A and B are shown apart, each in its own frame.
Chain A
Amino acid sequence: MQPFETFRGAVMPLDRANVDTDAIIPKQFLKSIQRTGFGANLFDEWRYLDHGEPGQDCAGRPLNPDFVLNDPRYGKAKILLARHNFGCGSSREHAPWALADHGFRVLIAPSFADIFRQNAIKNGLLPIVLDEQTIDALFALAGGAVPLEIEVDLKGQRLQPSSGEPIAFEIDAFHRHCLLNGLDDIGLTLERADEIAAYEQRRQQQVPWLFASAAT
């Protein structure tokens, strides 16, 4: 994973609550066995007027002019501003893969669904939770003729919008540490192999049936 560095990016406002993972990446695209290439199908059913299928070239598909992603103002947006419970629904990691593949780096909302938030962090996407009032204010700014830009400083836990006051945000210390250093969780955990083995030995005494060979 790439370490997360301070950057400045444009904000795309998606003014809907409870945006679910089926909307972020519809199920037909889950048939892929790859980790990449989901960006063109991000928000597929809202973004295009026709029905999308995997493997199709999206360049010639009819765009829905009313969907915010197709608004030229937000073509280069790296920050997605959303409403509460963003990412609810399934555990598909294809949702953060699609968001990241499209170019988003930061998601801002009043709340995120738990599994989605974990998946986002594992893919170097930073989910930031802010209170409803601040979100409302950002929506008001982001809807203008000139897109709102925000400088995101994860180390300082601070957002600096192109207009207005800086905004502090909270983030779990462990997640912050992983994002800032681009750490691979599995590598970290494997360093604890001895402790895992000791745990297994202890449990094997207490609850042996959990370790009986499971195959039938």
Chain B
Amino acid sequence: MAAQTNPPRTLFDKIWDDHIVRTDEHDTALLYIDRQLVHEVTSPQAFEGLRLAGRKPRRPEANLAVPDHNVPTSDRHLGIVDPISRLQVETLEANCREFGIQLFAMGDPRQGIVHVIGPEQGLTQPGMTVVCGDSHTSTHGAFGALAFGVGTSEVEHVLATQCLLQRKPKSMLVSVDGELGRGITAKDVVLAIIGEIGTAGGTGHVIEYAGDAIQALSMEGRMTVCNMSIEAGARAGLIGIDEKTIDYLRDRPRSPKGEVFEQAADYWRSLNSDPGAEYDRVVRIDAANIRPQVTWGTSPEMVVPVDSEVPNPDAVADPVKAGSYRHALTYMGLEPLTPIAEIGIDKVFIGSCTNGRIEDLRAAAEVAKGRHVADSVMLAMVVPGSGLVKQQAEAEGLDRIFIDAGFEWRDPGCSMCLAMNADRLEAGERCAATSNRNFEGRQGQGGRTHLVSPAMAAAAAVAGRFVDVREF
């Protein structure tokens, strides 16, 4: 049979091939998009574009919208105080009404960060193409979906046509082999990968994560890894399907039901790379070498294990790299060779689409339990990724653990991940954050961000400085 002589394909190849509507003479594919998630920051100009051209969404029901970037995380009953943020959220509401798109509004218990609620609702399913006007759309790849961030023009393009014009990216396999040590989390894995391949290491590629250590991760952990694919420069990250994926999807509100679920699950099980499939690039990482990671600079690749020190730019041969190290150290207010464990912090942020899911809150609560935030830490906040994560955490009593330990327990949203709402760092303040970007000014102008796992963030809150959570 012809099918058997086909060369082995990667998971990425399979999803890509299944979504080609047509290919043009320039080798650009018209790619069908199954699902689009919409938030308030990158959509207003897209809806405006539709309106100006007199166009309608092709399949309004293929979209779901939610405000997350601008929403306040406390005193929600007061509404959004900042008039400009409020206008943006209200514009989203008005656009969804006008164009017939479902919205989880601020008061809805299902509201949350767009990349947390997609999987939580079962909106993200294996084999799909998923887009959102947000780079961390890569998160959804944990379900064996091809999920990537797009710009506002492309948001409009998908609304109008349910398709995108795309050149096929290259493929890259990142295999994390062997077993992770005790206390090493998905966040440490992905930071270690970025440290290894660099923030441009995945440019032009879709990364597939594989290997025993990835297989062993929970779905939440896999989402954390795929989430930060963009910090490795990749457009998307994905992981093959196994029974964990299928179990997670069972009984989600938007998952198929009954017999159709079983039919879907059979198909989903076929969504793995074939043995012998070829990748354009392969990177292998030994899981046993991964230690708890802490970023020291202003790019996620500027990362070291907690039991080491800030690097010395003088020892860096490449002059451009040495220059950016010096720049970063000045911005971060750090001296070369300072041990990471001697860096004291002012604030702690636990949340974001990287680490704002229930498992993350459990890991942080386990460390916080029976302890207290250090006096030198002026604010330690926990921001659940969604209203449902918040409910679950409260049902498990995690909120009490955090509050008793001196953490603030907030309402769901992006919050201090990018500080578009009132939650932010002041100039010079140093933060242990579970989010994904440590760029200059990301958490507030002049703010200094160190990226860590939830357990490491909680431990830093208690100690007032970075500590190795394995010895905590």
Chain A residues proximal to chain B, CB less than 8 Å: 15-18, 20, 22-23, 26-28, 30-35, 45, 51, 54-55, 83-85, 88-93, 96, 111, 113-115, 118-119, 122-123, 172-174, 177, 185-186, 188-190, 192-193, 195-196, 199-200, 203, 207-210, 212-216
Contact = CB atoms under 8 A, between A and B. Distances in A.
B465 interface: no
Given A30-B420, A115-B150, A186-B161, A214 B440 contact: no
15 contacts: A27-B418, A31-B88, A33-B48, A45-B441, A45-B445, A85-B200, A89-B437, A111-B200, A114-B204, A186-B49, A190-B160, A193-B161, A209-B125, A210-B128, A216-B254
Given A31-B420, A85-B203, A88-B199, A122 B445 contact: no
Interface stretch (B178-186, B219-227, B306-314, B320-328): B320-328
Contacts of A55: 84
Given A20-B299, A90-B135, 15 more contacts: A16-B327, A22-B418, A30-B42, A33-B45, A55-B84, A90-B149, A115-B149, A122-B153, A195-B30, A196-B21, A209-B264, A212-B260, A214-B62, A214-B254, A216-B254
A213 B21 contact: no
A174 B24 contact: yes
Contacts of B253: 216
A30 B41 contact: yes
Contacts, number: 203
A20 B324 contact: no
B416 to A, nearest CB: 11
Contact of B41 (A20, A92, A174, A213): A92
Nearest to A178: B165
A91 B135 contact: yes
Interface of B: 21-22, 24, 26-28, 30, 32, 34, 41-42, 44-45, 48-49, 53, 55, 58, 61-62, 64, 69-70, 84-85, 87-88, 91, 102, 121, 123, 125, 127-128, 133-135, 137, 148-154, 156-157, 160-163, 165, 167, 169, 199-200, 203-204, 230, 233-235, 253-254, 256, 260-261, 263-264, 267, 299, 320-321, 323-324, 327, 418-420, 437, 439-442, 445
Contacts of B49: 186
A23 B85 CA distance: 20
Contact of A22 (B137, B235, B440): B440
Which 3 A-B pairs have CB atoms at the shortest separation, nearest pair first?
A174-B26, A119-B151, A33-B44
A83 B320 CA distance: 9
Which of B70, B125, B135 has the most chain A CB atoms closer than 10 A to its own CB?
B135
Contact of B299 (A18, A92, A208): A18
A186 B88 contact: no
Contacts of A173: 26-27
